[in-house]
Amino acid sequence: YPSALLGLEEGSENSLYAALAASANWSPHRAVGLRLEGFLRQDWYLTRAALTAALADTGERLRVFSLGLSARADWTPNDRFFLVLEGELGRSFANDPAEQRWNAALQAGVELSF
């Protein structure tokens, strides 16, 4: 991890994490598939320092807690051609303001099965 204040931190990406994920799938009709997934994840960095907004070392190691939710819907008229719509929303909380963020994505596409 390159830091303007601390230079290059050796081993800055070494971390441990614990995660929990769950999903539910439902097909109300043969041609329709629905999926909902969620996750929680806690990361503990072994050597990387948590910094303040002013880039001062807090004296703590970086900790990041993330959670997210995704949804997918697909429809097929013939079990070979699928129209797909997917969306994701996530949030990260950390003891370093530079590591706190939102993540959102929306995708539409076509899948073919042969």
Report pLDDT for 9.
62
b (16+ CB within 10 A) / e for 23-58 = eeeeeeeeeebeeeeeeebebebeebbbbeeeeeee
User: Which of these, 99, 113, 110, 109, lies nearest to 41 by C-alpha position?
Assistant: 99
Backbone φ and ψ of 104, nearest 5°: -140, 145
Q: Is the pTM of this model over 0.85?
A: no
Report pLDDT for 10.
66
Token digits of residue 8: 């290059």
User: Which of these, 50, 38, 52, lies nearest to 91 by C-alpha position?
Assistant: 38
Report pLDDT for 81.
95
Ranges of the chain with pLDDT below 50:
none
- Does residue 50 contact residue 23 with C-beta atoms inside 8 Å? no
